[in-house]
Structure 1
């Protein structure tokens, strides 16, 4: 977090948090809900100012209970999560994974395929959804323990397939199927704080 944000938190420790003003869409776009009605599911207004977007990226964090927020000075602004708290993209090399905040993914602990065809990952940064435009590139990089193309994910009750994303120097991670309604509980985040 920014030094001035940390200083403001120390200076004013009891500023109440707010909900309903921010959301994060499936493509990693921040949206403002000027009426404070993000929980109602509305689209909101796009936030496009580069300085604000950079500020959000540097000051986006989560609490242990799975609520994600932007620390805006001394105030926490909780975020409605439309799919996952992070949106994962490939870098200029078309294979390195980055969160929408610009942070590189260093590890994937599990892969998830939901019932709408979205690919998600539990990463060292938190849970993220692979942005639709990079989905085929990431799927092409998934390999099983023999180095072959990814197998289908297995449902609950079956032993999950183990996959590795070739660009990451890590061990294999389980590959699961999940319904989109179960995503928050299974990946450990609060969609609507």
Structure 2
């Protein structure tokens, strides 16, 4: 987390959390979701406006984390902005390295070691890591398939709907927040 964010949290510790305004799609793209977009439906139905400002995206990546309940968020200064997820909290980029192995990096730039491989009912390939569960980017599925064919990763067949409970992440913090009575 950026030092400036930590300082803002210390200065303003009680800023209300924000829900529904930021989404992460299955290709690692960030979307702003204004009131009108949110009124059109959940993130999978109405994404909003894709962020294209490189410095803002880098800032989000450096300050992207999850809470103890598995809700992923972007800490924007003193305000926690919970993220609506299309498929998983992370999107993996996969490259074959010079030694014939495969390097995996999150959409945030964090390099990880793969601890599991999963294939859902729609043929989407997920990789588990100590950082969390992520979906392999569509452009890298062919490279990941090479790792599977070589026996480096052995996919386990799963249902996509079971993954959040199994890996402890929440696809829609906004939906969860709306369902919980507030006092």
TM-score (norm 2): 0.84
Distance 1:191 1:142 in 2: 27
User: Following TM superposition, by how much is the alpha carbon of 1:124 offset from its aligned partner in structure 2, in angstroms?
Assistant: 1.6
Give deviations 1:28-67, integer Å, cap 9, x for gaps. 0000001172862312110000010000110000012110
Structure 1: runs of 5+ lacking an equivalent: 144-148, 151-163, 166-173
1:139 alignment counterpart: 145
1:176 alignment counterpart: 156
Distance 2:24 2:31 in 1: 6
Matched, 1:102 2:92: no
**Structure with higher helix content:** 2
Distance 2:31 2:14 in 1: 26
| 8 Å CA contact retained: 2:32, 2:51 | yes
Distance 1:8 1:128 in 2: 30
Matched, 1:26 2:30: no
Matches within 5 A, 1:111-190: 111-142=117-148, 149-150=150-151, 164-165=152-153, 175-190=155-170
Distance 1:24 1:30 in 2: 5
2:177 alignment counterpart: none
User: Following TM superposition, by how much is the alpha carbon of 1:93 offset from its aligned partner in structure 2, in angstroms?
Assistant: 4.3
Q: What is the RMSD of the two structures over their aligned residues, measured on CA atoms?
A: 2.0
Distance 1:101 1:40 in 2: 23
TM-score (norm 1): 0.80
How many residue pairs are counted as aligned between the two chains? 166
